[in-house]
A = this chain, B = another copy of it.
Amino acid sequence: MSSSAPDPHPTSGEDRGLSRRRLVQGAAGGAAVGALAVGGSAWAMTDRGSTAGQSDQEADRDTVDLSQSHPFYGSGAQAGVFTPPQRHALFMTFTMVAGTTASDLQSLLARWSAAIAQLTQGKSIGAVEPTRAGAVAPDTGEAFNLDPASLTVTIGLGPSLFDDRFGLKDKRPALLTDLPDLPSDSLQPGLTGGDLSLQACADDPQVAYHAIRNLARMVRGTADTHWTVMGFGRASAGAGQYTPRNLMGFKDGTRNITEEADRTKFVTIADADQKWLEGGTYQVVRKIEMDIEIWDADPVSDQQHVFGRTKDEGAPLSGTKEFDTPDFHKAGAVNGLAIPATSHVALAAPENNGGVKILRRGYNYTDGINQYGQLDAGLLFIAYLNDPAHFITLQKKLGSSDRLNEYISHIGSGLFAVPPAPATGHYVGEALFA
């Protein structure tokens, strides 16, 4: 660039409440400086007056507004549980370093919480450029001046945390135990469990990566990274949003939990045996590898029988529109049924599982090319539920009968307790140490 090139951002970020440019110290300060909280969709409406013929919903999905932010502090579930799924996710687990104490864990949770409160408001977690020469910067800087991008970071606590190490043995909820072996498991060593989990979701992958990277960095020496998955493309979504597709090309999330009543009934933990988890939830995470090249060789008519839905519209094979309620008794061509009994939708449906629903939050992932030269890809499946048994029951059934099993392998797995959001100035899991 020549010397006459103008500076396009002569005062970039200097006066922006949401900027990462200036460090705002402390969590309370974070809440005071222009948090632009949104309760609804992460998708912004924009003026598309010239595009006649498009519905509002279509205009809606054409634009991503990166300026939105979600508050970290509050009551009820942590952000990232009920938050409308952002476009990118970075999930990472951690193991506490040998010899660390309850006090180290307490400090870790407090520091993570204060940092997440800053990050979700589009701020750095400390100066990018310290004034003292020779100082190491608290923040690595790559999200400097970027928008909040609807970032949420959700902290989970694994069953292994409640052993002898941190004096938490008596604080373990009865339901927080390692997931049992499940019929579909092809778990890889190194992709299971973890003392702690972080789920960072944002509409900008650089913002999500920056969050996880800096949270990992600030606890070096206390907690080691364990396993991670980076996801994209939102394979599930709530009501009023279009339904994203997984890498099998099918809509994923059509029947996801969207109603407040279902959240209360199936996601939020009430009357917990451990008070620190009251108002929280459980997080089930599965890294599900898909043999997409084999899948792609399957005729669409068969793919539709595997899912129990049409590929284009996503309608149940008993109906014509995506949101038609499946009729699992309707007569049809597969053993007398329109929706095959071994299809994914039939096996997973609340109607066929005593009404049980789980809140899914899925993202697609790719690991490039595998050792056989085939595309290595799949689904980062994250579910929130108030009883891990709901997942276990469903997965036992799916793992035994689901025709999808021919094309997928569950290679990673973890279960975590997700305490409720902390009140301003407090931290996630604080009640554990009361």
Interface residues of A (CB under 8 A from B): 1-3, 5-13, 15-16, 21, 44, 46-48, 51, 53-55, 57-58, 61-67, 87-88, 92, 128-130, 133-137, 139-145, 147, 204-206, 209, 213, 216-217, 220, 224-230, 232-233, 239-242, 244-250, 254-256, 258-259, 292-293, 296-302, 310-312, 321-325, 364, 366, 368-369, 373-375, 377
Inter-subunit contact B242/A145 (CB<8 Å): yes
A151 CB to closest chain B CB, in angstroms?
Answer: 14
Residue in contact with A1 in the complex, picked from B230, B249, B255, B302, CB distance below 8 Å: B255
User: CB-CB < 8 A to A248: which residues of B?
Assistant: 141-142
Main SS at interface, chain A: loop
**Which residue of the partner chain, among B2, B44, B369, contacts A63 with CB atoms under 8 Å?**
B44
From the candidates B57, B228, B292, B325, name the one contacting A9 in the complex (CB within 8 A).
B57
A278 to chain B, nearest CB (A): 28
29 A-B pairs (CB sep. < 8 Å): A1-B239, A1-B256, A2-B325, A8-B239, A9-B55, A9-B322, A11-B55, A12-B57, A46-B46, A47-B47, A63-B64, A63-B65, A129-B300, A129-B312, A133-B301, A134-B301, A136-B297, A142-B246, A142-B248, A142-B249, A144-B249, A145-B242, A205-B232, A205-B233, A206-B245, A209-B247, A209-B366, A213-B377, A226-B369
Q: When A136-B296, A292-B213, A323-B1 are in contact, do A373 and B55 touch as well, CB less than 8 Å?
A: no
Top 4 A-B pairs ranked by shortest CB distance?
A: A141-B249, A3-B325, A206-B233, A205-B232
* Extra pairs beyond A15-B53, A142-B233, A144-B245 (5, CB < 8 Å): A8-B57, A21-B312, A129-B311, A144-B311, A204-B233
Q: Are A242 and B12 in contact (CB under 8 A)?
A: yes
Q: Is the CB of A137 within 8 A of B230?
A: no
- Whether A128 contacts B8 by the Cβ 8 Å rule is no
What's the Cα separation between A359 and B67 when bound, in Å?
30
CB distance from A1 to the nearest CB of B (A): 5
